[in-house]
Amino acid sequence: MKTMKVAMYYNNNDVRIEQMPIPTISKKELLVKVKASGICGSDVMEWYRIKKAPRVLGHEIAGDIVQVGKHVKKYKVGDRVFVSHHVPCNTCSFCQQDQHTLCDLLHSTNFYPGGFAEYLKVPEINVDRGTFFLPKEMTYEEGVFIEPLACVVRGLRIARIRRKKGQSVLLLGSGVAGLLNIKLAKAYGASKIFATDIDKNRLRYAQKMGADVAIDAKEDIVQKVKQHNEGNLADLVILCAGVPSAVQQALSSVAKGGTTLFFAPTKPGVTIPFPLFDLWNNQITMVSTYAGAPRDIREAIELINTKKVKVTDLITHRLPLRNAAEGFKLAAKAQHSLKVILKP
């Protein structure tokens, strides 16, 4: 039996290189050799991940098809692909209402064993609606950003960002998710973009990626936004930092008639008090988002391929799979890293 190396997650400080059998595929499945796999911020959320440990994580992948089930007609050996780990049923009430990421099936599907492995098996349903060709101009590293950018595409769609009509946008949290939101908001024609963080290095990145004003999160966000926005608050506030203080800042920084998008969650069980009268009186819309649907993936591929959203400047570390433990520590500390890519 042929084996492969995988990075087995036990916790953020315990990621081990182990051997597993290379998956065998059925007549309707694919075997993909992983060429690049990104460490997502959710991969290092221990409260989210550790309850299912040990396991092979990784869902931001690009690779080559190396084996094709005989009943699969759309793909062939050698095709370069991005594979979505979660796929919707397309038939439930949520899917019918364009709320695919609420679909129960989407929350239960996955490829095996995970993206931090040399090979992964693509189940039949993921072959059917979760496998996308990489354009010939797109690199594997760019392909790693398809999934995270799709999440951002969906978020801004849910928030009904006004494309090309000018809108002030405030990002709370300038990690990779925040920076991708900055890039996409700019591509969509935001009139002014504000970004916050507690880390000065990330604030520098935020300005480099397109933010007009970078604000230390410890400052008075409301006053800073007004100071640089003709006395107005932000039309769209995007929460990319799942901490109570940032939630409070989000609720107090949105303009009348504006929208607050909860992109990042707090830990389960955290209760946030909010000023109901002010939100009601100012007619604030509050929306949340999770993951990306196939339509968002297709748009993300187009945005990356046409360079409307450039992504490779977000890569700070490229590591071989054997250095996965180092990669997890870098991503978890988030001090000197943005996107960490593992290359099996």
Distance between CA atoms of residues 184 and 178, nearest Å: 10
* Neighbouring C-alpha atoms within 13 Å toward the C-beta of 262: 13
Instruction: Give phi and psi for 20, each to the nearest 5.
Output: -135, 155
| pTM for this entry | 0.96
Pairing of strands 80-83, 60-68: antiparallel
Contact, 92 vs 104, CB < 8 A?
yes
Whole-angstrom CA distances from 155 to 23, 138, 290 are 34, 24, 8
**235 alpha carbon, distance to own chain's centre:** 23
Q: What is the pLDDT of residue 303?
A: 98
Distance between CA atoms of residues 52 and 48, nearest Å: 8
DSSP secondary structure string, 190-203? Answer: -SEEEEEES-HHHH
Q: What is the pLDDT of residue 118?
A: 98
Fold assignment, 3-150+292-343? Quinone Oxidoreductase; Chain A, domain 1 (3.90.180)
DSSP secondary structure string, 66-135? Answer: EEE-TT--S--TT-EEEE-S----S-SHHHHTT-GGG-TTTTT---BS-SSBSEEEE-HHHHHHSEEEPP
Q: What is the pLDDT of residue 206?
A: 97
Which portions of the chain are predicted below pLDDT 70?
A: none
Tokens of 16: 């081990």
The full set of domain ranges for the chain reads 3-150+292-343, 160-288
Fold assignment, 160-288? Rossmann fold (3.40.50)
